[in-house]
Amino acid sequence: MPPPDRAMPLLLLLLFLGLGPAAAADEQFVFDGFTGANLTMDGMATVTANGLLQLSNATSQLKGHAFFPTPLQFHRAPNSTAMQSFSTAFVIGIIGAYDTLSSHGMAFVVAKSRNFTSALPGQFLGLVGSANNGNATNHLFAVEFDTILNSEFNDMSGNHVGIDVNGLNSVDADNAGYYDDGTGAFRNISLVDRKPMQVWVDFDGQTMQVNVTMAPLQVARPKRPLLSTTVNLSSVIDDTAYVGFSSSSGILFCRHYVLGWSFKMNGAAPALNISSLPSMPVTFPKPRSKTLEIVLPIASALLVFAVAAAVFVYMRRRRMFAELKEEWEVTFGPHRFSYKDLYHATDGFSDERLLGIGGFGRVYRGSLPKSKSAEIAVKKVAHGSRQGMREFVAEVVTIGRLRHRNLVQLLGYCRRKGELLLVYDYMPNGSLDKHLYGDQKEKAALGWGQRFGIIKGVASGLLYLHEDWEQVVVHRDIKASNVLLDADMNGRLGDFGLARLYDHGTDPHTTHVVGTMGYLAPELGHTGKASKASDVFAFGAFMLEVACGRKPVVLDARDNHLVLVDWVLDQWRAGTVTGAVDPRLGGDVVEHEAGLVLRLGLLCSHPLPAARPTTRQVAQYLDGDLKLPELSPTYQSFNMLALMQDQGFDPYVMSYPMTSITAGTMSQMSDLSGGR
Ligand SMILES: *[C@@H]1O[C@H](CO)[C@@H](O)[C@H](O)[C@H]1NC(C)=O
Ligand SMILES: *[C@@H]1O[C@H](CO)[C@@H](O)[C@H](O)[C@H]1NC(C)=O
Ligand SMILES: *[C@@H]1O[C@H](CO)[C@@H](O)[C@H](O)[C@H]1NC(C)=O
Ligand SMILES: *[C@@H]1O[C@H](CO)[C@@H](O)[C@H](O)[C@H]1NC(C)=O
Ligand SMILES: *[C@@H]1O[C@H](CO)[C@@H](O)[C@H](O)[C@H]1NC(C)=O
Ligand SMILES: *[C@@H]1O[C@H](CO)[C@@H](O)[C@H](O)[C@H]1NC(C)=O
Ligand SMILES: *[C@@H]1O[C@H](CO)[C@@H](O)[C@H](O)[C@H]1NC(C)=O
Ligand SMILES: *[C@@H]1O[C@H](CO)[C@@H](O)[C@H](O)[C@H]1NC(C)=O
Ligand SMILES: *[C@@H]1O[C@H](CO)[C@@H](O)[C@H](O)[C@H]1NC(C)=O
């Protein structure tokens, strides 16, 4: 037991007399830490051993509430419209998986009832449900500390404080921060940077003015409030109401804490004793973001050979074109290109021939001298590990046997020390993303007809990989920059199977997810296993990308991560899904096709793999051979951003720019196992 003078809550119930005949008790309480505090809690809420009120406990999709046990009198007299004034101060802190991103926020609440069973977790903050958001019968007043931008509630940013009346569409909001007393300058506060912050909420029952002020714990109360607005709470807050806190989790690891809390009716909230507040935990599972290590094998025999070779000048030239060739490769002979040929075809891999650079390596344009017409693209892939090379080359050869008008043909390979060269058909119109994200002001280069054709083409290429070939080939990196356009502007999937390269020769105990943020299915975070369903997920993101002309994950002007699926979902919930279509298309859209693509994109983006359509169904929906089912209502509280973050996908990788035309951007899962 901690010493009572340090940790016992100081709970004072003081009766003030003489405030008029009907004046209720001017209740007041102070909790400098919550050890032994009499609070009514539900859901995830609990008081920790060191006296922190922990509202959420790193479990997904749950709520947590904590209330002062007795209701307080908020009106001057029962049934009177006149309000009492109140003032409260509290210290809160949020610890998420990242100190820059968090799963939803928390709120200070004044509510008619403590029964929040019908409220939803996630972006609803455990305050309301989707059916009663904003309903005047809620009798709910809240100050929200919101860490995710939800456009459905007109949120201003992913780090804001808002005054809420009966729902989550704030009557007033601003970015979290404070005005410096000295300079008057606004200083940002990050809600999720794991540091405690103090908040003061003051309401004047006569003028109906609400002030919300906040500051980092070590900063004294700023004079100028962050928010100051007038709201008539007379019909919002009932005669008597409960005061407390609400929080919710999305699917991401997160903890919300209250360190101390004071409240006073008709007077300034007592100051908290900062030095006696419990401290926030400092040990929490920190997501690690391991970079893929490509260990160059130091094969001493080869080194000796290299040294010896250097002695002989005539060997120099041979070394320049040196290849690695092993006995097992004999059977793959016809698929093997000589390095010398590729070297000459690309003018010695000159920069003028460079088509793009990406996670897998550089891509060069080349023409084979033997047949002048044969334009090729040569991808140089750094590959140090010789382990698994045999399987990989076998796969390359297998892949080389795949033939489909919507796949980029792999012609063969060449192998050098630490390097693999893959030879493909050259695609004269480059990658699809170049066409989608050209000059923003320009009229869209690709019309709707072309886009729809490309989507259908890629679907048919994917169907071939998944179902129609002799063995299942999982693509693992479907995205606009991996779809190339041939001379007839047909969409062709490239880079299939290449992601497997990183599977071979790596430690089986470390899970590496290869793919691109925004296209990675949530289950990859759990299983690390790519499947047809995870390809369908990526294809869903791809469809939305092509229809909307927007990347699956973007940063807005305020550095918030915006996830395309969430945005299209918002439009769908609002009943205007086709409003998501790329505005640059102007009127050039076939409404029912666009509706089909967007709704199918959402269906493929379902968080549960089993709920996604099969690749064959996708093709059938697109061909109109099968009627698209309605989206299920479970989509209501679904938030892709939270899902992705929950899987430990690194937010920094999420915004990694995709620079190349054919190369894959590689992102990895970080190990969050300690946090769940
Ligand atoms: C907590 O407060 C409630 C309401 O005032 C009271 O009924 C209950 O006995 C208190 N519990 C404890 C353990 O003090
Ligand atoms: C979190 O709270 C929920 C609801 O009370 C509970 O079921 C779960 O076991 C808790 N998890 C942890 C890790 O404490
Ligand atoms: C307040 O109003 C309710 C119904 O409107 C009534 O039943 C109750 O008696 C009133 N209370 C007082 C103290 O006037
Ligand atoms: C809480 O409200 C729900 C309906 O929203 C109701 O079913 C339940 O009985 C209520 N619980 C209590 C303890 O009043
Ligand atoms: C508000 O809630 C009440 C009670 O639940 C319900 O009867 C009413 O239809 C709701 N109003 C709106 C606009 O949804
Ligand atoms: C709100 O802040 C303003 C400016 O500091 C102040 O004049 C006003 O009295 C405050 N109102 C309340 C209710 O505290
Ligand atoms: C607040 O609204 C009530 C009716 O709900 C009204 O009687 C009262 O005058 C209003 N107060 C102010 C300050 O506007
Ligand atoms: C604040 O808490 C500290 C440590 O518990 C204590 O020594 C100090 O007297 C307290 N100050 C006030 C003003 O209560
Ligand atoms: C504060 O945050 C907002 C929103 O993130 C940003 O626009 C602004 O530049 C930041 N201001 C400072 C001083 O950092």
Q: Say if 285 falls within a structural domain.
A: no
Highest mean pLDDT of the ranges 170-179, 361-370, 513-522, 545-554? 170-179
Ligand 6 touching residue 229 (CB < 6 A): no
Highest mean pLDDT out of 79-83, 323-327, 491-495: 79-83
Are 252 and 245 within 8 A, CB to CB?
no
pLDDT interval class at 436 (50, 70, 90): confident
Asked if residue 301 belongs to a domain, the reply is no
Arithmetic mean of pLDDT over the chain: 78
Top pLDDT among 510 and 609 is at: 609
- Identify the burial level of 261 via C-beta atoms within 10 angstroms of its C-beta, where 0-12 means exposed, 13-18 middle and 19 or more buried: buried
CA atoms within 13 A on the CB side of 383: 28
Which position has the higher pLDDT, 471 or 102? 471
Amino acid at 192: V
pLDDT band at 166 (very low <50, low <70, confident <90, very high): very high
Question: Do 260 and 198 meet the contact criterion of CB atoms below 8 Å apart?
Answer: no
Find the catalytic residue in 425, 477, 646, 650.
477
**Could you tell me which residues come within 8 angstroms of residue 117 by beta carbon, excluding any fewer than 6 positions away?**
none
Least-confidence region, from 194-208, 473-487, 496-510: 496-510
Examine residue 4 and state whether it is found in any structural domain, yes or no: no
What mean pLDDT comes out for the span 177-181? Answer: 96
**CA 613 centroid distance within chain:** 23
Whether 202 has a pLDDT exceeding 50, the answer reads yes
Name which of 122-126, 290-294, 298-302 the model is least confident about: 290-294
Residue 556 has what pLDDT?
A: 67
Q: Which atom of ligand 5 is nearest to the CA of 135?
A: 1
CATH number (domain holding residue 20): 2.60.120.200
Residue that finishes a domain, picked among 381, 407, 426? 426
What span, in angstroms and rounded, lies between the C-alpha atoms of 505 and 388?
A: 6
> In this predicted model, which residue has the larger pLDDT, 517 or 668?
517
| Dihedral sign from CA coordinates of 484, 486, 492, 494 | negative
Q: Is the residue at 295 inside a domain?
A: no
Q: Looking at the predicted structure, is the pLDDT value of residue 6 above 60? A: no
Stated pTM of the model: 0.55
With contact defined as beta carbons under 8 Å apart, do 44 and 104 qualify? no
For 461, the token pair is 């290429």
Q: Does the pLDDT value for residue 649 go beyond 70? A: no
Residues 170 and 254 in one domain: yes
Ligand 9, atom 14, residue with closest C-alpha: 188
Are 578 and 632 in the same domain?
Answer: yes
Angle at the Cα of 371 (from 368 to 374), degrees rounded to 5?
60
pLDDT for residue 65 is more than 80? yes
Residue range 384-408: mean pLDDT, rounded:
72
The two tokens of residue 605 are 């983006």
User: 60: CA distance to ligand 2 center in Å?
Assistant: 10
Among residues 395, 426, 457, the one where a domain terminates is 426
In a shared domain, residues 384 and 460: no
209, 212, 221, 265, best to mutate for ligand 6 pocket (most atoms within 8 Å of CB):
209
Least confident residue range of 57-66, 181-190, 530-539, 621-630: 57-66
Q: Which residue has the higher pLDDT, 51 or 669?
A: 51
Whether the CB of 80 sits within 6 Å of ligand 7: no
Count the Cβ atoms, other than its own, within 10 Å of residue 411.
17
Are 73 and 24 in contact, with CB atoms under 8 Å apart?
Answer: yes
341/209: higher pLDDT = 209
Residue 375 pLDDT > 70, yes or no?
yes
With contact defined as beta carbons under 8 Å apart, do 103 and 113 qualify?
no
DSSP state of 483: E
pLDDT digits (tens, 9 = 90+) for 9-18: 333 333 333 3
CA gyration radius, the chain: 30
CA distance 510 to 497: 20
* Same domain membership, residue 358 and residue 434: no
Position 578 scores a pLDDT of 85
Ligand 8 centroid from CA 273, angstroms = 6
Is the pLDDT at 183 greater than 90, yes or no?
yes
Q: Is residue 382 assigned to a domain?
A: yes
Same domain assignment for residues 134 and 45: yes
What sign does the CA torsion over 398, 400, 405, 408 have?
A: positive
pLDDT over 90 percentage in the chain: 39
**Number of folded domains that form the chain:** 3
Q: Are 540 and 600 in contact (CB under 8 A)?
A: yes
Give me the pLDDT at residue 220, please.
95
In this structure, what are the phi and psi dihedrals at residue 502, rounded to the nearest 5 degrees? -80, -5
380 in a known ligand binding site: yes
Six-digit token string for 580:
């998501």
Q: Has 477 been annotated as catalytic?
A: yes
130 lines ligand 5 (CB under 6 A): no
For ligand 8, is residue 276 a contact (CB within 6 Å)?
Answer: yes
Kindly give, in sequence order, each residue whose CB lies less than 8 Å from that of residue 162, ignoring residues fewer than 6 positions away. Answer: 143, 144, 146, 155, 170, 171, 172, 173, 227
Question: Cβ atoms within 10 A of the Cβ of 544, count?
Answer: 26
Question: Sign (positive/negative) of CA torsion 171, 175, 176, 177?
Answer: negative
Per-residue pLDDT, 174: 97
β-partners of residue 247 are 64, 106
Kindly tell me if the per-residue pLDDT of 670 is higher than 80. Answer: no
Identify the top-confidence range among 33-42, 251-260, 302-311, 634-643: 33-42
Average pLDDT in the 221-239 region? 96
| Residue 125 pLDDT > 80 | yes
Q: What is the pLDDT of residues 295-315, one digit of tens each?
A: 223 334 444 444 454 455 455
The DSSP call for residue 410 is E
Is 75:81 a contact under the CB 8 Å cutoff? yes
Contact (CB, 8 A) for 274 and 99: no
Residues 141 and 266 in one domain: yes
By residue range, what is the domain housing residue 85?
A: 9-276
Boundary residue ending a domain (426, 441, 475): 426
- Output the domain CATH number for residue 414: 3.30.200.20
Q: Is the Cβ atom of 275 under 6 angstroms away from ligand 8? A: yes
Best mutation site among 41, 59, 60 for ligand 2, i.e. most ligand atoms within 8 A of its Cβ? 59
Neighbours of 292 (CB within 10 A): 12
Residue 70 CA to residue 576 CA, distance in Å, equals: 45
Could you tell me which residues are beta bridge partners of residue 146? 160
More confident of the two residues 619 and 193: 619
**pLDDT score at 459:** 96
**Helices and strands (DSSP H and E) totals, the chain:** 14, 27
Please tell me which residue, 381 or 117, carries the higher pLDDT value.
117
Q: What is the pLDDT of residue 481?
A: 85
Ligand located closest to 121 CA: 2
Q: Are residues 452 and 553 in the same domain?
A: yes
Task: Please report the pLDDT score of residue 61 as a whole number.
Answer: 72
Distance CA 377, CA 393 (A): 18
Residue 282 lies in a domain: no
Q: Are 250 and 646 in contact (CB under 8 A)?
A: yes
195 and 46 in a single domain? The answer is: yes
Report whether residue 175 contacts ligand 9, using a CB cutoff of 6 Å: yes
CA distances 188 to 23, 156, 215, 223, Å, are: 40, 14, 9, 16
Name the DSSP letter for residue 488: T
Supply the CATH number for residue 663's domain: 1.10.510.10
The neighbouring-strand residues paired with 93 are 257
Distances (CA, A) of 253 to 53, 57, 71, 286, 596: 17, 8, 32, 11, 34
Residue 233: pLDDT band with limits 50, 70, 90:
very high
> Is residue 77 predicted with pLDDT exceeding 80?
yes
Residues 342, 421 contacting (CB under 8 angstroms): yes
Q: Which of 25-34, 159-168, 262-271 has the lowest mean pLDDT?
A: 25-34
DSSP 8-state secondary structure symbol assigned to residue 468 = I
Same-domain check for residues 335 and 418: yes
- Per residue in 79-109, pLDDT (tens digit) is 899 999 999 999 999 987 655 555 678 999 9
| Together in a domain, 137 and 186 | yes
The answer to whether the CB of 204 is under 6 A from ligand 6 is yes
pLDDT at 497 over 60: no
pLDDT of 335: 67
Same domain, 421 and 456: no
106, two tokens: 């928390």
Region 540-561: what's the mean pLDDT?
83
pLDDT of the residue at 456? 96
Q: Which ligand is nearest to the CA of 274?
A: 8
Instruction: Give the closest residue (by CA) to ligand 7 atom 8.
Output: 81
**616 C-beta neighbours (distance < 10 Å), count:** 15
Q: What is the pLDDT of residue 290?
A: 30
43: in domain? yes
Claim to verify: residue 445 and residue 399 sit in the same structural domain:
no
Weakest mean pLDDT among 47-61, 127-141, 536-550: 47-61
| Residues 133, 167 contacting (CB under 8 angstroms) | yes
Tokens of 49: 């051993």
Q: Please report whether residue 651 resides in a domain.
A: yes
